[in-house]
Amino acid sequence: MHWKMLLLLLLYYNAEASMCHRWSRAVLFPATHRPKRSSSLPLNPVLQTSLEEVELLYEFLLAELEISPDLQISIKDEELASLRKASDFRTICNNVIPKSIPDIRRLSASLSSHPGILKKEDFERTVLTLAYTAYRTALSHGHQKDIWAQSLVSLFQALRHDLMRSSQPGVPP
């Protein structure tokens, strides 16, 4: 009877550990896991699946971006905006990344306690959130600028920490 209890506890612990790890992925960017029924947007869009797409993402970020009063992000360059990946870029920027200070702080806190290294799509979304935060910091004044700057620094530190962890040999993802 004693060994059965031990086996049961071991199985429960293993199931609990795997469930917590599986669900922890949804915590960083919950919008990717809550699609709207009426939406035709991709469920979990990813921009960088090849080196060419990484370079294209860089071009998107270097191109002049426009943020409307309702915080919708668009690419001003018509040629870049017409590309298929530009649609995914707009989806991620407008529907996935956090845009308010509380949401960005929540992301920073989740990143600081995130076990292992970030998945490629989470890293990509965090970089886009960092770029958005830098843009908002540049446009803000006074106390608001300080708040955005603090968020920018905490996101930068989380990304730096992830890069340092991923460069160490033998670190599990």
pLDDT over 70 (residue 78): yes
Domain that holds residue 122: 98-168
Q: Is 147 exposed, middle or buried (0-12, 13-18, 19+ CB in 10 A)?
A: middle
User: How many domains does the structure of the chain reveal?
Assistant: 2
> Is 91 within the bounds of a domain?
yes
* Chain centroid to CA 96: 8
Claim to verify: residue 104 and residue 74 sit in the same structural domain: no
DSSP 3-state of 65: strand
User: Does residue 114 share a domain with residue 55?
Assistant: no
Lowest mean pLDDT among 12-16, 27-31, 134-138: 12-16
Amino acid 151: pLDDT? 95
Q: Is residue 34 part of a domain?
A: no
Lowest mean pLDDT among 33-42, 65-74, 120-129, 147-156: 33-42
Overall average pLDDT of the 155-159 stretch: 93
- Residue 106 pLDDT more than 80? yes
Instruction: Tell me which residue of 89, 123, 90, 95 sits closest to 107, measured CA to CA.
Output: 123
Identify whether residues 109 and 156 lie together within a single domain: yes
Check whether residue 85 and residue 111 sit in a common domain.
no
**Residue 104 resides in a domain:** yes
Asked if residue 132 and residue 70 are part of one domain, the reply reads no
